[in-house]
A and B are shown apart, each in its own frame.
Chain A
């Protein structure tokens, strides 16, 4: 639906900063790869640091250019996260439907974003790896699966795994948490592409027009965050201008 709309001459275009957060190996980079290149790689190597990608999304009334920060999920990179979400208008907090700890981590991220990110930030909670769950093929998971999901948590765990269902977190559990916190909620598969476009479109729609910038925000705004990494930063005492907490704007 995004592509067909590109006829009317000059649609207002604006850019949206989006950051992906979540535990390691939940599929953040794969979601982005699916969204940006419509591609999928098995056994993708872990992201190091963060990757920056851009992708345009055409909505009926405007074009949105996503500037995406795909961050690494490993613990040691966590202290760098503030610099990525600081000016972000939207965030994708991703967990792995087959891994309960990843939802715990996702909740931490949501809490941190609500505490520290800009107030109007649009947060989407995304349960990824839907392809590993048995009910993924037909049912539009986002609307119906609440009942099917219940079984996942209550009794039938073992039985479901025999059916090839590795789901450990029910749709209901994710949805209820999302509603509590006022988040968008999706279950996706980067592998099959299911619901991936929808996530980004929903985010684009959820961002009020007033928040859109027509020009890119100057990136490095203020060096407020003192992180473990920052504290150990190399100090080039011989070249002071290159080294200090410099704010570039």
Chain B
């Protein structure tokens, strides 16, 4: 509708985005200057193995300190090489050093050595770095022996942590200091000479978070992302084959493992049991070691991968991710996998199986569920806004049109119906439900996954009658779901795949009718026939089809001339979200994964427990982004690099205004209730 007429209103309105009372025009006080320094500093940045015990207290810093207790401070190291090693084998001391201060290299305790030493920082190609001291007065830079001699002395003064010490100089490194270090280390370490001074400088500021560097800078790591979903395959036979497979297995960025507490494998995304049985055993040993101490292991980091463990009754679920999600986000994903298992078995069956025999092999009762679990896992690996936001996306339809569809559903409803849904290309069009029962987003996610991501149901071609448990609704019993697909393409056969790879399930409209009565298939089938007939008659079907074909609007259609490339807007009250098309900026799998990684970071930052963060403005080399959270909504925006903060803020405001204007179109409010 008339964008032009609203333009002026919008700009005059710009400063008062009244919704949450949080003005988004760049207020210095509210915006945290550079999040790379301030906000992500609290994120995990240990390079070495670091275990978080689950003591109930829980600011992350205390738990980290507890973690440190597992490793007492190292004794004074006499040897020179120890210091050099330390950069790679970081110990508990490192996390202690980096966790609280925005300047990771600063040691809080001042030392006498301060006046006598220069601190130099060496960056290793792997992103870790080493700080060491050199006494400029006594030692000519070119003489390594002297350098280490001075370190020894230094250590004598400051105790065991000498190697970790830093001076004020280290925080304000200058080019000359950098150059100094370079020439020095060139001899000592044979380190790469081409590390530019600015990088030395920037490593002082940037958290050594392996994930941070992964996302937008480390292209090598993401280049082969499209192979992430390939099956492992090796040579013909023998050990070589296994070795190859193992290498491929290790190169996957994300793994999900599910095992029973007795150590029986239940599900793994990549590789077969033989290949990874060793790992399963290891994981089980690690977990049960902590369980034995009544200290539940929640997660740890090793070799650039974050391990998150969730124990659910008799099951352990493990996520291993190199994609930069934080623990809470991975936990949501594990939760979804667990829900899928419950959806297949129901909770009583699951507990019963293990109560009878702790060593039950759950794969047999779960037989046939692997494609569903894998579809979920792959969705998470690709990056999924609904999962990140725990919200649903709806098909954008006019309010009056949706009303007609709702009414039709209500009119044709049969007695045995519990929920009735119309879903188009993974987006909800309409729901009918009993007044007392609402639908849980996680349940819908399972259903959508089954219908639109796993191809099994649709490939069969007919109508389907599927017993399933919706754990959010009732995890103790089954419901029965009637599913029938209606094609939305209408002879528009060409170019569905090339042009719009946005969603492969582009042109499918599904009618889902859920009942608690397992005998009601024919009732629901009759209802569906009348429903579809009625929808055809009152043109609703055509409206849905054209809305599906239209796809999501581009960001520039929503806010003309915006710098925004993409955004996510979640309405907290409706538990729904809306977003523009990924095109034209995020067409490939990799582009989208990067975008989603950025969203994950923003989401993690504003949802960090102690953050109290309302607005975050984040500048990266590849993008400028903004997260804005109010009690009413969460908004995450991404703009191209070099966009100004003002432009971004203005666009964000306009998005909020657009959503408010279109609220009843992009969201389903209330739905049809009987």
- Choose from A47, A51, A70, A246 the contact partner of B519 (Cβ within 8 Å): A246
A235 and B477: CB pair below 8 A?
Answer: yes
- Choose from B415, B436, B450, B518 the contact partner of A233 (Cβ within 8 Å): B518
Q: A233-249 vs B: 1/0 string, CB under 8 Å? A: 11110110111011110
- Choose from B344, B368, B463, B518 the contact partner of A83 (Cβ within 8 Å): B518
Q: Which residues of B contact A246 (CB under 8 A)?
A: 415-416, 517, 519-520
Query: Quick one: which of B162-202 are within 8 Å of A by CB?
Result: none
Given known contacts A24-B367, A52-B465, A46 and B518 CB-to-CB distance under 8 angstroms: no
Query: Quick one: which of A190-235 are within 8 Å of B by CB?
Result: 218-220, 223, 229-230, 232-235
Q: Which residues of A contact B543 (CB under 8 A)?
A: none
Query: Who on chain A is nearest to B481 by CB?
Result: A49
Chain B min CB distance to A101 (Å): 13
B459 and A49: CB pair below 8 A?
Answer: no
A220 and B519: CB pair below 8 A?
Answer: yes
A44 located at the interface, meaning its Cβ lies under 8 Å from any Cβ of chain B in the complex: yes
Q: Which residues of A contact B476 (CB under 8 A)?
A: 232, 234
Q: Which residues of A contact B515 (CB under 8 A)?
A: 242
A24 and B474: CB pair below 8 A?
Answer: no
Query: Who on chain B is nearest to A45 by CB?
Result: B456
Q: Which residues of A contact B519 (CB under 8 A)?
A: 83, 219-220, 223, 246-248
A242 and B462: CB pair below 8 A?
Answer: no
Q: Which residues of A contact B436 (CB under 8 A)?
A: 238-239
Q: B451-494 vs A: 1/0 string, CB under 8 Å? A: 00011110111111111100001101111110000000000000
What CA separation (Å) do A245 and B516 show in the bound complex?
Answer: 10
What CA separation (Å) do A239 and B344 show in the bound complex?
Answer: 25
A116 located at the interface, meaning its Cβ lies under 8 Å from any Cβ of chain B in the complex: no
A242 and B478: CB pair below 8 A?
Answer: no
B517 and A52: CB pair below 8 A?
Answer: no
Query: Who on chain B is nearest to A220 by CB?
Result: B519
Query: Quick one: which of B412-445 are within 8 Å of A by CB?
Result: 415-418, 434, 436-437
Query: Who on chain A is nearest to B475 by CB?
Result: A234
A49 and B466: CB pair below 8 A?
Answer: yes
A75 and B516: CB pair below 8 A?
Answer: no
Q: Which residues of B contact A36 (CB under 8 A)?
A: 461-462
Query: Who on chain A is nearest to B454 by CB?
Result: A45
Q: Which residues of A contact B454 (CB under 8 A)?
A: 45
A248 and B477: CB pair below 8 A?
Answer: no
B520 and A80: CB pair below 8 A?
Answer: no
Q: Which residues of A contact B463 (CB under 8 A)?
A: 51-53
B67 located at the interface, meaning its Cβ lies under 8 Å from any Cβ of chain A in the complex: no
Q: Which residues of A contact B480 (CB under 8 A)?
A: 49
Q: Which residues of A contact B455 (CB under 8 A)?
A: 45
B367 and A70: CB pair below 8 A?
Answer: no
A146 located at the interface, meaning its Cβ lies under 8 Å from any Cβ of chain B in the complex: no
What CA separation (Å) do A33 and B116 show in the bound complex?
Answer: 82
Given known contacts A52-B464, A248-B520, A232 and B416 CB-to-CB distance under 8 angstroms: no
Chain B min CB distance to A104 (Å): 16
Q: Which of A75, A80, A242 has the most CB of B within 10 A?
A: A242
B457 and A220: CB pair below 8 A?
Answer: no
Query: Who on chain A is nearest to B450 by CB?
Result: A48
Q: B496-519 vs A: 1/0 string, CB under 8 Å? A: 000000000000000000011111
B317 located at the interface, meaning its Cβ lies under 8 Å from any Cβ of chain A in the complex: no
What CA separation (Å) do A232 and B523 show in the bound complex?
Answer: 21
What CA separation (Å) do A32 and B463 show in the bound complex?
Answer: 13
Q: Which residues of A contact B462 (CB under 8 A)?
A: 36, 51-54, 68, 70
B365 located at the interface, meaning its Cβ lies under 8 Å from any Cβ of chain A in the complex: yes
Given known contacts A46-B456, A83-B519, A234-B478, A242 and B417 CB-to-CB distance under 8 angstroms: yes
A234 and B473: CB pair below 8 A?
Answer: yes
A233 and B516: CB pair below 8 A?
Answer: yes
Query: Who on chain B is nearest to A41 by CB?
Result: B459
B371 and A46: CB pair below 8 A?
Answer: yes
A242 and B516: CB pair below 8 A?
Answer: yes
Given known contacts A218-B522, A220-B523, A233-B478, A33 and B461 CB-to-CB distance under 8 angstroms: yes
A76 located at the interface, meaning its Cβ lies under 8 Å from any Cβ of chain B in the complex: yes
A76 and B456: CB pair below 8 A?
Answer: no
Given known contacts A80-B518, A246-B517, A48 and B345 CB-to-CB distance under 8 angstroms: no
What CA separation (Å) do A24 and B476 show in the bound complex?
Answer: 25
Query: Who on chain A is nearest to B457 by CB?
Result: A48
B461 and A37: CB pair below 8 A?
Answer: yes
Q: Which residues of B contact A98 (CB under 8 A)?
A: none
B85 located at the interface, meaning its Cβ lies under 8 Å from any Cβ of chain A in the complex: no
Given known contacts A29-B460, A70-B460, A248 and B473 CB-to-CB distance under 8 angstroms: no
B467 and A220: CB pair below 8 A?
Answer: no
- Choose from A45, A77, A219 the contact partner of B522 (Cβ within 8 Å): A219
Query: Who on chain B is nearest to A71 by CB?
Result: B465
What CA separation (Å) do A77 and B437 show in the bound complex?
Answer: 27
A242 and B416: CB pair below 8 A?
Answer: yes
A72 located at the interface, meaning its Cβ lies under 8 Å from any Cβ of chain B in the complex: yes
What CA separation (Å) do A206 and B483 show in the bound complex?
Answer: 32
Query: Quick one: which of A23-67 are within 8 Å of B by CB?
Result: 24, 29, 32-33, 36-37, 41, 44-54
Q: Which residues of A contact B523 (CB under 8 A)?
A: 219-220, 248
B348 located at the interface, meaning its Cβ lies under 8 Å from any Cβ of chain A in the complex: yes
A75 and B521: CB pair below 8 A?
Answer: no
Q: Which of A32, A45, A76, A238 has the most CB of B within 10 A?
A: A45
B661 located at the interface, meaning its Cβ lies under 8 Å from any Cβ of chain A in the complex: no
Q: B334-361 vs A: 1/0 string, CB under 8 Å? A: 0000000000111011000000000000
A-B contact pairs, 23 of them (CB 8 A): A29-B460, A45-B455, A45-B456, A47-B368, A48-B368, A48-B372, A49-B466, A49-B480, A50-B465, A50-B466, A51-B464, A53-B461, A80-B518, A219-B521, A219-B525, A234-B478, A235-B516, A236-B418, A236-B437, A236-B516, A241-B415, A248-B520, A248-B523
Q: Which 5 residue pairs across A and B have the least CB separation, nearest first?
A: A219-B522, A45-B456, A53-B462, A49-B466, A220-B519
Known: A229-B518, A242-B434. 20 other contacts (CB 8 A): A33-B460, A33-B461, A37-B461, A45-B455, A47-B456, A48-B464, A52-B521, A53-B463, A54-B462, A75-B367, A76-B365, A76-B367, A83-B518, A218-B522, A220-B523, A229-B467, A233-B478, A242-B416, A243-B517, A248-B522
Residues of chain B whose beta carbon lies under 8 Å from any beta carbon of chain A: 344-346, 348-349, 364-365, 367-368, 371-372, 415-418, 434, 436-437, 450, 454-457, 459-468, 473-474, 476-481, 515-523, 525
Residues of chain A whose beta carbon lies under 8 Å from any beta carbon of chain B: 24, 29, 32-33, 36-37, 41, 44-54, 68, 70, 72, 74-77, 80, 83, 218-220, 223, 229-230, 232-236, 238-239, 241-243, 245-248
